A and B are shown apart, each in its own frame.
Chain A
Amino acid sequence: MKTSDLIELSIQSLKRGGVRSVLSVLGIVIGIASVILILSITEAGKSFIISQVQSAGSDLLFLENGSPSEVQKTPDAFTKQVLTDQDYRSLKKQTWITSIAPVNVDMDSVTAQGQVVNGTVVGTNEGITKAFNINIAQGVFFSEDDAVSHRRTVVLGGSVAKKLFGSDSAVGHMVDIGGQKFRVTATMQIAGTRFLQNVDDFVYIPYTTEMDVYAKTRYMEFIIQPNIARNEAIDRAKAIVRDNHKISDPKDDDFRIMTQEDAVKIVDQVTGSLSIFLAAVAGISLVVGGIGIMNIMFVTVTERTKEIGIRKSLGARTGSIMRQFLIESVFLTTIGGVIGTSLGVLLTWIAIQIILQYQTGWVFTLSTTGIALGVGFSTAVGIIFGYAPAKRAASVSPIEALRYE
């Protein structure tokens, strides 16, 4: 039997099967579409996060609360807050540090001229502009002196300024944050997202004022820009903080220093295990789809017993029948694979468009592994789950098959 004949036969029986053929591959279609969707979205997410990390200033150190071993284990809310004003001041003094920005964050409403926006209030200093790699549109960032004097000054993120003041200049005007009056010293340019957050919705106030208004005594983190080699900077910073915290054994560290590289590594790990898990779930749906194919093929073989008898009476060998049904099942699952892949690509594109409504910076990415896996798997499923039905079809005795009604 020629390959062209086998393909021809598969097309014929597919046509005869009609709607049922299409329905029978639904499991495969859904399985493969989800594999591709899941792997593509995680890949797009990974690229997005990495681009976020890299869009900030380079070679930054993030001094955070919590021991190094707690990374990814303890939710931030449960981490003991240990970073103090003393840590800030002793690091600030260092000549090898270009800038150090303390960071504390609160969600609060910001009001001006009868307009209200929900903003993210960041207690910090001018160092944040270097850390986030963002620029002033108008005015001057509040000074360290403002912080020392606990002044009520504020710098507005691009969208906050626009929403409150429209195209008017905000500088010099008063805004109301959490019931307190603040004077605007500057507005920032529109900058998009940094570390997954839209910095245009941020309002920056002096770190001391933030502690006054929100009753805090500790910092969430310090973003440090050193002017020496990274590892040396990490060692020195650790030594200073340990000294402040009276820690002699590094094992007892209650703080940690992360780099952008660490962040990328974590993203890699998280998305890696996430996509393996999700792909495994999708893989199960492929197996279920395969069982569906096997089921439909068994039904088909039974229904087509007469056809098998006719073919055998016309000279078909056992092997020809076997191949016919095997190819048919592979053909079905491969079509399922092609439809599933197209659907997966389409769903990925739609998902990215939806995500883009909420967060800019995502790029439509297709997982080549996902597509290869999907298509390869669908063929394998056709062979594996088509084998038993094909075997049964081929072994039917010609005389019994002919008598079958």
Chain B
Amino acid sequence: MRGTGRCIETDRHRTTTNIMSNIIELVNITKDYVNDDVVTPVLHGVNLSIPQGQFISIMGPSGSGKSTVMNILGFLDVITTGMYRFNGRDVSKLNDDQLADMRGANIGFVFQTFNLLPRTTVYENVMLPLIYSNVPPSKRHQIVSEKIELVGLGHRINNFSNQLSGGERQRVAIARALIRNPDVILADEPTGNLDSKSGEVVMDMLLDLNKEQGKTVILVTHETYTAEYGQRIVRIKDGTIVSDEMNGHRRTRDDHQPLK
């Protein structure tokens, strides 16, 4: 009885206030870089609402501000004006430690350059976010092994990250991004440094995460083919959104030849 009641209430809430279903809300944000008193405006009034569980692709030419948007979304950088709400919270009101905690708990980053620690094992790399969490050391081993198995690298667990191929590295990065079970995966050109085969493996993983685990995936890419994994495609040019539409022919796993 109680369960049903709460469910109805939540549904009503969703229909009345759209904000609550959007995990991310950028309202008319701008971003200026300031170096030695030289101001470089990069984003000029970006509006973007992303509902929980959406797979969204951001496209645009080099230098258009895609990474800047991603860094802002991931609490790595701050906006100049406008409003960024994450789960309804005004991000500009958070202090450094709170931002760090938000990064750790809510965001999983997958970067073009992998950003793994060199001369550090796969295991240690994937474990890394846990040392900044409350997960006690005794529970870590299981969680880490699980995620490494999930990305199919169980046999590489004790290899140094720099002994792996690009595709394997990106899978380590995905395992690491998932280790604290965040709601949002931010993938900034994750296939940019990969051959097409490895790229597809990585994209399939992101797709599965979105479809099966309901993760919100925000993908930056300049390849239309890759962008079509998303339900929605947003195009940016010179720091403004020039188009924002749902993807009519979303790519699925069956669209391409299975590997090997």
A residues contacting B by CB (< 8 A) are 1-2, 4-5, 8-9, 12, 16, 306-307, 309-320, 398-399, 402
Provide the bound-state CA to CA distance between A110 and B115, in Å: 83
Q: Indicate if the CB atoms of A2 and B103 lie closer than 8 Å.
A: no
B164 within 8 A of A: no
Q: Which of B76, B131, B132, B180 contacts A399 (CB 8 A)?
A: B76
Partner of A310 from B97, B115, B131 at Cβ < 8 Å: B115
Q: What are 14 A-B residue pairs whose CB atoms fall within 8 Å in the complex? A: A1-B132, A2-B131, A306-B115, A311-B132, A312-B103, A313-B74, A314-B132, A315-B101, A315-B129, A317-B97, A318-B97, A319-B97, A320-B132, A399-B76
Contact of A315 with B97 in the complex, beta carbons under 8 Å: no
Identify 4 new A-B residue pairs, CB closer than 8 A, beyond the known A8-B131, A315-B104: A314-B104, A314-B129, A315-B103, A317-B97
> Which among B71, B120, B128 is the interface contact of A314 at CB below 8 angstroms?
B128
* A315 and B74 contact, CB distance less than 8 A: no
B70-82 vs A, Cβ < 8 Å mask (1 yes, 0 no): 0100101100000
Tell yes or no: B105 within 8 A of A by CB.
yes
Given contacts A1-B132, A5-B131, A399-B77, whether A318 and B96 have CB atoms under 8 Å apart is yes
**Cα of A102 to Cα of B250 in the assembled complex, Å:** 115
User: B3 near A: Cβ within 8 Å?
Assistant: no
Most A C-beta atoms less than 10 A away, residue of B76, B120, B129, B133: B76
Any A CB within 8 A of the CB of B242: no
Q: Which residues of chain A are near B101, meaning CB under 8 Å?
A: 315, 317
B137 located at the interface, meaning its Cβ lies under 8 Å from any Cβ of chain A in the complex: yes
The one of A4, A316, A319 that contacts B137, using a Cβ cutoff of 8 Å? A4
Residues from 108 to 125 in B contacting A, C-beta threshold 8 Å:
109, 111, 115-117, 119-120, 124
B176 within 8 A of A: yes
A-B contact count (CB 8 A): 69
Q: Does B100 contact A (CB under 8 A)?
A: yes
Closest A residue to B120 using CB positions: A12
Least CB distance, A311 to chain B, in whole angstroms: 7
The reply to whether B74 and A16 contact each other, CB–CB distance below 8 Å, is no
Which residues of chain B have C-beta atoms less than 8 A from A398's C-beta? Answer: 76-77, 103
Report yes or no: A402 in contact with B76, Cβ–Cβ below 8 A. Answer: yes
A4: chain B residues at CB < 8 Å are: 137
Are B77 and A313 touching (Cβ within 8 A)? no
Interface centre among B74, B97, B109, B115 (most CB of A within 10 A): B115
Q: Are B97 and A314 in contact (CB under 8 A)?
A: no
The reply to whether B76 and A317 contact each other, CB–CB distance below 8 Å, is no
Q: Contact check: which of B100, B117, B180 meets A312 at CB < 8 Å? A: B100
Which B residues are in CB contact (< 8 Å) with A402? 76, 111, 115
Residue numbers in A under 8 Å from B111 (CB-CB): 402
Given A1-B132, A398-B76, A315:B180 Cβ within 8 A = yes
Q: Given A1-B131, A320-B132, A402-B76, are A315 and B96 neighbors across the interface (CB < 8 Å)?
A: no
Interchain nearest-CB distance for A328 vs B (Å): 14
